[in-house]
Structure 1
Amino acid sequence: MATSSLPPLDPRPKVREKTIRNIFVTQSEDTRQRKDNNANHISGVTESSNKFLEVSVSALQKTLILKKEAELEEVDKQLALKRQEFNTCVDALAQRRSELQIKQQQTKERVMKFEKFVAENEAKRRRALKSCESSREQNILKQREIENLTEQLKQLRVRKQILKDRMSKYKIFEDYLMKTLDYLPGNYPDNGSESLVMPIIRRHETLSITHQELLQRLGRMEEDVEQGQRQLLNMKHEHSTKKLMANKDLSELQRELETLKEKNKQTEVKLQIEQGLSREKLEEMGRLLMAINNLAEQCYLTAYGALENMNMLTKMDMVKEFILDKADTERRARRLMESASAMTSTTAMTDKRGRGSIKSIGSKTQLKSSSKVSKKSEIFT
């Protein structure tokens, strides 16, 4: 046989929703419904207990109001103290920031002076190195000139000694010829300007003079060549020195460039890290503000005024008061439920005829209160 589909049974009793009347905020709807039900069914028995509960509730409400006012005054005092501490901290931080800025400016000035001093010392050092190099080059050139001149002097001394030896060797022939000329008669054909020996002698003298001129010219040319070689060597040495100095300056500039690149990389990494941290802080702050705004919308109390005009501290205070009020209401509801259950048990013992109806009413009220308590606990969580 085909079974007909039945709707699912709801274990909880259906409760008709009613509009909340203008009553005190700590008085729950379950308590009022339970009071109405008990008054309808067992009005004669629970009349005195209801009066007692109303008196106790009113006294409890007054004490809670006084307690809340005292707590509010204490919170206001603490808030004023916190504001004063915050203002003092802000003033101290501003003064410290100004001192740090002054110290930073002084440090920058000192660094600039030190860099200027280092640059001046570096320029002096370079000028001293250049002067030292030039003086050393001049000393080397002078030493070479001295060596060349000493070598030439040795050669000239050797040549002079050779010529002296040759003159001493040919001196006897000169003496013999002069004596022979002295013994010749005056009308000798070879004597005088018409002699045949005189053109040869003149020719020899001319050739010797030409030879001497050529030797002098050769010496001057050799000196010019040596001077050109010395100039070439000096130019090569100067070129090598300038090349070394340029390579040194280039290496220093390359090291400075590498250090600057490394510093730029480090600053870029620090900047990226700071940007990431600031972005994470802003996102976290945005989430926190959004959560506070959502809680303020859910826990809105008209005593604090419009929600748009509140700051974050006021919203947090409002949420705190709402949660404390709800927790206090739950505790009072549980106490009233326990007292009502005790009263229903006593009335069940005295009235045997209405036991079934009282049990059904007690179970309904218990289910209602448990459902309300579970809803409130979900709201708090």
Structure 2
Amino acid sequence: MRNRIIEEDICGIVTIKDIPWLELKGKTVLITGANGFIPAYIVETLLYINELNSGLKIKVIAVVRNGKKALARFEHYTGRKDIKFIVQDVCEPISIKENIDYIIHAASQASPKYYGVDPVGTILANVIGTYNLLELARAKKVKGFLYFSSGEIYGEVAENQIPTGEAMYGNTDPLNIRSCYGESKRMGETMCISYMHQFGIPIKIVRPFHTYGPGMLLDDGRVFADFVSDIVNRRDIEIKSDGTAVRVFCYLADAVEGFFRVMLIGKTGEAYNLASDFPISILNLAKLLVQLFPERNLRVLKKSRNQTKNYIESKISRAIPDIKKLKSLGWVTRHSIQEGFARTVQSFEIC
């Protein structure tokens, strides 16, 4: 049985009428990192489409590293013929007999908690993994290849580059260990464009910023996950910085809609920022979450910085993308930041 919040979200996505879902009729979609909280929503969306219209016959191939976790995440789909799991690391060559029409490459260590402890693993999934998926796309002559990049690729942009459009780029220090993520995502983008240029692979790139929602790991290490964990566990929110950094937080259902729009409507060879319309400081986000649940009598507390060696903090004070390009595909922010975080907390608390 699906979580009620997830059920409502997915139903809302698949009933959006201006997304050309019929393009997926009879198609096979391979999704890497399928057990991750963002690609898992994509998997469930495709399976839900089949439930609504059995004639579409979409097949999902879910590539996961941990088979046990995948079976737990997708336990209510056991026995279905429209999903197949492949348990392997994307850094190993992928051998599949079936025809593949679309590849969504979303396998990556996105949390900063990995950058200090496993920077090499972070790089390999974004470079070697991308190479293996592009080679598979080349062999299968896919109809579409969607690459999950990141807003991190922009680096430290100048003030006059905010909001940041897709053609603007700032500085990235290659000797900063945190660059293992942003630089390898940049390389992944260049690899995608190179394969498009040389081999005709129909590449599309999406650059998500901070995405939150049901199913995210509460020990993810990123600030929004920490805050939701505090609310769910009825703890005061502790901020270990001055809280002035500004970010944009996009609710997962809105993000998933954006991914499908880019894949099915976006222009080949182009990148699209994906974020919400709601820039907010970290301090104000903490206050907003506390205010959403006044009956819990929680507070926002400022604590002294206690940086761990594994979590590598960003130096960027304001990360605000220009999303006009995504909006040109018909995308809109459907969930306010208040509604999105309320739904996220509820998703962890309902039975």
TM-score normalised by the shorter chain: which range applies? under 0.3
Normalised TM-score (structure 1): 0.14
Give 1 or 2: higher strand fraction: 2
Structure showing greater relative contact order (alpha-carbon pairs closer than 8 Å, 6 or more residues apart)? 1
Give 1 or 2: higher helix fraction: 1
